[in-house]
Structure 1
Amino acid sequence: MPTVDRLGNRYLEALGAHCILELYECPSHLLDDRHFVEKALREAAKVAESTLLSEVSHQFTPQGVTALVLLAESHISIHTWPEANYAAVDVFTCGEQTRPQEACEYLVQTFRAGNHLLLQLPRHKLSAAIANGEHYHI
């Protein structure tokens, strides 16, 4: 059964989960290794029980990597700052079978983060409210 939240007097069906993950105190050599980052995202997709469709990455000069895996269920992306031992990760999945939080936990371990922050946002179906011309700011 889908997760249901309430906004005002409307019930909203959750369609997906959006995780924002901040990784701190990571070894800089891991954050600057494009192949390591690519493999970590592919494995995170497996952990999330998601279907990998495509991937793209870029190695910056003098340092840093941006990578994205496109999933049938949405995406996982990362941008690294090796000089700050920091990475910003976005894990967005749809469907009840997916496990975005577990993918985040995998990435915390894989990048050996000394500290991290995980924010989880449910994504909801708002079609009834939008059809009535209503707008919500949360």
Structure 2
Amino acid sequence: MENQSYPVGETCLVPVGSHCILELYNCPTDLLNNLVFIRHSLQEAAKRAKSTLLKEITHQFHPYGVTALALLAESHISIHTWPETGYVAVDIFTCGQHTEPEAACKFLLQVFQAGDHVLLHFPRGRLTPQLQELGNSLLLQPS
């Protein structure tokens, strides 16, 4: 791989973090447009992940929708809402052995009252047997 950013043979074999992508469907519309509720949920999710909240940014879109970002000492949490479809996109990336991003996902699943959800969870910082090289990119293969 000529475009890789690390020398061959020096690939990190230990994960540096954990990445969760949470898709929430069929959530109550009123929750997804409530900036105060989403800000509180973001703060509590950071606590549940056993992470250190450094800063948060929220934005209310008009006529509807909210984006909320938490900068963590351990990385980040983002929440993006689409009230018109009852959908919430959540991204939680944490590093360190003490963090629990899955606990934050479980909390968000409950408070957003999702009728359905998809959770993807994978280690960051190492190549696993599920990754297959495709030219200059990697494709995650189902196990």
The residue that corresponds to 1:34 in the other structure is 35
The residue that corresponds to 1:17 in the other structure is 18
The CA deviation string for residues 43-70 of structure 1, in whole angstroms up to 9 with x for no partner, is 0000000000000000000000000011
In the aligned structure 2, how far is the partner of 1:12 from the partner of 1:27? 42
The CA deviation string for residues 53-108 of structure 1, in whole angstroms up to 9 with x for no partner, is 00000000000000001100000001100000000000000000000011000000
In the aligned structure 2, how far is the partner of 1:32 from the partner of 1:136? 37
Letter in structure 1 aligned against 2:102: Q
Letter in structure 2 aligned against 1:72: A
The residue that corresponds to 2:94 in the other structure is 93
Gaps (5+ residues) in structure 2? 1-10, 128-135
The residue that corresponds to 2:54 in the other structure is 53
In the aligned structure 1, how far is the partner of 2:103 from the partner of 2:42? 13
Compute the TM-score of the two structures, normalised by the length of structure 2.
0.81
Letter in structure 2 aligned against 1:12: L
The residue that corresponds to 1:130 in the other structure is none
SS at match of 1:116: strand
Counterpart contact for 2:12–2:125, Cα < 8 Å: no
- TM-aligned CA deviation for residue 136 of structure 1: 6.1
Letter in structure 2 aligned against 1:68: L
Counterpart contact for 2:12–2:126, Cα < 8 Å: no
In the aligned structure 2, how far is the partner of 1:27 from the partner of 1:76? 21
Gaps (5+ residues) in structure 1? 1-9, 127-134
In the aligned structure 2, how far is the partner of 1:137 from the partner of 1:76? 24
The CA deviation string for residues 20-61 of structure 1, in whole angstroms up to 9 with x for no partner, is 000001000000000100100100000000000000000000
RMSD over aligned CA atoms reads 1.7
- TM-aligned CA deviation for residue 11 of structure 1: 6.9
- TM-aligned CA deviation for residue 125 of structure 1: 4.7
The residue that corresponds to 2:130 in the other structure is none
